[in-house]
Structure formats: structure tokens, C-alpha cells
Amino acid sequence: MSEAIVEILGLRKVYDGKNPVIAVDGIDLHVPAGLIYGLLGPNGAGKTTTISIATTRAIPTAGSVRIAGVDVVAHPALARRSIGVVPQYNTLDRSCTVAENIRFHCRYFGMTTAESNTRTAQLLEQFRLSDRATAYPQALSGGLAQRLQIARAIAHHPRVLFLDEPSAGLDPQSRIAMWEAVQGLRGEGITVVLTTHYMEEADELCDRLAIIDHGKILIEDTPAALKASIGGDKIYDLRMRDLHESRQLEDRLRKTDGVTSVEAVQGGLRVLARAQDGLLAKVVTTANEFGLQDVTTTEPSLETVFIRLTGRDLRE
């Protein structure tokens, strides 16, 4: 595995007050360079706080964060040179035009006027914003504003780009455009760390994922490995007319070749199985004798992984 570009050790953040809130409760994270890395979890899990600390906008209660080897608490101003940030909300400078938002960002990071102009023109082109260069941010749609925020964030060639809930409030089309823009960054050697509570986004976009809940990392792996941990390629949810003989059905199903596990869920049974021809028919025939009402088949998703780990739905 290559060098860790983002290194988080024992991170804790407690917000003081009448009822102190533990937002981050001992997070360790190593993000290898060049990946798109996702922090997946429900709202309030501690994702945004973790990113705020890593991007020098919040001070940790304990623990440390190093970005490209620089301690963000000890050297915040210098660490920012390696960091690009796209926050959850639109923070574009309303007093400056689209082009100026990028150009002044370049100036803040020490580029000369000529360098800033070249970089601005190049980014406007890359993010298909050239025709809006002289518009003000207020006039941009949500999707365009988001693209401009990403363009601005990477203008100074950061090593890591942090995206906090990048698709919040975007329509499906803009979301896909944003995914493409983020995937394009891989080619520029920018490591991306993003937070999301959309499992589709995590699944589609991320090379590795950490699932976070209540300020702790529950599990960390590739999306494929996480889904494989469910222990089956197919999920058959059987809805039964009545459940008084379900114990007997469970036993029969378990003995069926290809079924990896059977568990009782509300209103019926959930069967996890390997992908195998004819298995569904067998399961249905067996269940039919016990009063099968309906069957739905799905494939394991990150949602299933999350429910498995927390007993809760991601959207709750």
C-alpha cells in the first residue's frame, strides 16, 4: 500500500456546553494517496466534524491529523497548501465573478498574476464554466456552483481534496456530472476524501470506505469487500401469510444447497444465497407450502451492511 496522505490518529472532538456532545470519538484513519476515499454514515455521525478538523477549521479535543506529513494543528496555515475544501454549503465569494473566485484563490496561494490567469482559464475550460466566467455566483444553478467550488478548491494543486456531502441538494443529472468531475481528479493525482450519506454515491465513486456512526469507525474496506461481508450474492425476502410454522421452513431452507443463511425478519424470512441457477425457484416452491405471499430479490448493498452493523437504516 502506498504512503498515507491523510493520517488521523486517535481523533476526538467534544463540543462543550450544558450537554457536552461527543462528535468524534476516537477515529483512526489512513488514506492512501491517489484514492477516492469515502466516509459513509448518517447525519450527525461525525463526518463533517472529522473533515473540519482535518481542514484546520476546527480544533480537536485530542488526537492528531497529518496531511502530507504536516500536522494540521501545529501548522494550520502551511497545511492548507496541501488541502482543497468544498464545504457542504455554497461559500463562493458573492462579491466576485466566477473567474475572480478562482483567480483570487490562486493569488492567495502565491501564484503570480500571469500564473493565476492561466490556471483560471484552464479550470474554467475543464469544468465547462468558460461561458459563465463573468457571471456572479448568485446567478449559477446548484450544479454549476458546485462545479465552481470544486474548480476553485483544486486551483492551487492541493494533494488532497475534501468534499463534504458533495451531492447534497443536487439534482440527479448534476450529481452524475459532479461524480465525473471527481473521478477526473484521479488522473491529476489528487486524493479525494468525501463524506456522504448516499450509499449509491459511496458505492459508485469510492475506492475505499469507512462507515461511521456515533463518532466511531465501524468498518473500513473496499465497497466490494464490504458487500461481500454480508455472506451472499442474493437476498430473497419472503413475505409469509402466517409465521407459526416458520421455524420448520427455516430449517428446510437452510438445508437447501446454495443458501448461506436464513434469518427471521418482520413478516417473514430473509434468505441469503449464492447466485445459482434454479435456486430461486427451489426457495419459492419450498416456501409456497408454508403460505408464501410475496418474494423480493435484491443484491447486498452498503445499506444492508450498515443495517447489519447498527440495526438502523442509513436514512433514519
- The candidate with the shortest Cα–Cα distance to 7, out of 61, 62, 48, 67, is 67
Q: Which is nearer to another protein, 96 or 121 (CB)?
A: 96
β partners of residue 40: 196, 211
Q: How many CB atoms lie within 10 A of CB 113?
A: 10
In the complex with another protein, the residue whose CB is nearer, 139 or 225, is 139
- Give min distance, CB of 189 to another protein, in A: 16
Q: To which H or E segment does residue 129 belong?
A: none
Q: Please, which residue, 103 or 234, has the CB nearer to another protein?
A: 103
Q: Which alpha helices (DSSP H) does 206-255 contain, by range?
A: 223-228, 246-255
Beta bridge partners of 273: 234, 259
Residue 130 Cβ vs another protein, minimum distance, rounded to whole Å? 20
Name every residue whose Cβ is closer than 8 Å to that of residue 145 and which is 6 or more positions away in sequence: 90, 92, 137
Q: How far is the CB of 171 from another protein (least distance, A)?
A: 21
Query: At residue 301, what is the residue type?
Result: S
Give least dist CB 299 to another protein, A.
40
Length of the chain: 316
Min separation Cβ 14 and another protein, Å: 12
The grid coordinates listed for 72 are 494540521
In the complex with another protein, which residue's Cβ is closer, 162 or 306?
162
Residue 233, CB-side half-sphere exposure with 13 Å CA sphere? 7
Question: Smallest gap, in angstroms, from Cβ of residue 217 to another protein?
Answer: 21
Strand partners, 25: 12
Q: Give 82 or 167: the residue with its C-beta nearer to another protein.
A: 82
Distance CA 258, CA 251 (A): 14
Give contact residues for another protein (rule: CB under 8 A).
Answer: 15, 52, 55-59, 68-70, 75-83, 85, 87, 89-96, 100-101, 104-105, 107-110, 152
> Looking at beta carbons only, is 135 or 219 nearer to another protein?
135
